[in-house]
Amino acid sequence: MTDNTAPDPREAHPGTEAQDAETIAHPGLTGDMPSEPDHGEESYVGHGKLDGRKALITGADSGIGRAVAIAFAREGADVAISYLPEEEEDAKVTASWVEKAGRKAVLLPGDIRDESFCTQLVESAASGLGGLDVLVNNAAYQMAQPAGLEDITTEQLDRVFKTNLYAMFWITRAALAHLGAGSTIVNTSSVQAFQPSPPLLDYATTKAGILNFTKGLAETLAEKGIRVNAVCPGPIWTPLIPATMPEEKVDEFGGDTPLGRAGQPAEMAPAYVYLASPDSSYVTGDRIVATGGKIV
């Protein structure tokens, strides 16, 4: 007799005890983390939901981006991986998982704070993949400042806004030349869009902006048959956390959720698959919130 009992969500992944209070250098490599995240390498099973699709994913070297790349590949999509040059090591690991799934991986290093690179990124992705019909705007920058606004410099503000907002505008605008009816755009917002944390005020502001961008663009592109949606993760264990937060926050990260732990990138990937696939054909201008029980 088969046991179909679902795992207890509180214990499906390690809790805060696995998160040593240890910071790592930004931008943070997966191998430098005190405990490596689960990206679905051994667990995600595809069902052909994205057969033949061609996807560009920003920030796909690690964290949520890597989990989405692995899931997309196992669902049948070829994947272009956008990442910072200093994240080459992680990007190659992501590419290897895409290729193990029998799909094409295109590595595209560069800094999306540069408008000309964003335009070239899209063209290189479309050329390398032979087209483009899924765009995932996932890359983001944050740097916690315990005193909040007083410690957020203009230099940091500029980096956060250019990485999280400007790049999304530039990349999406360039992608429209390649996207047709049936194409999808999925943007990564955050629980911070609803519950802004003072040390992440600049980051939280951009994540709220991403939601408005998603809603407005969805209405604009509906007449072309292009859907636009967002995923709003809660606290997810990625290199961004120990690379941008103080040790005491790393140690307790995710412990304040009703489920009592941080989420894993692998737990976010199915939401992106759903929004990119025909399963969500009547969903646009909407969001999926996955916060471990935090009410927004």
CA 200, CA 83: separation in Å to the nearest integer? 22
272 is catalytic: no
CB 250 within 8 A of CB 21: yes
SS3 per-residue string spanning the chain? CCCCCCCCCCCCCCCHHHCCCCCCCCCCCHHHCCCCCCCCCCCCCCCCCCCCCEEEEECCCCHHHHHHHHHHHHCCCEEEEEECHHHHHHHHHHHHHHHHCCCCEEEEECCCCCHHHHHHHHHHHHHHHCCCCEEEECCCCCCCCCCHHHHCCHHHHHHHHHHHHHHHHHHHHHHCCCCCCCCEEEEECCHHHCCCCHHHHHHHHHHHHHHHHHHHHHHHHHHHCCEEEEEEECCECCCHHHHHCCHHHHHHCCCCCCCCCCECHHHHHHHHHHHHCHHHCCCCCCEEEECCCCCC
Catalytic residue among 44, 83, 141, 203: 203
Q: Output the six-digit token pair for 208.
A: 């709220």
Return the active site residues: 203
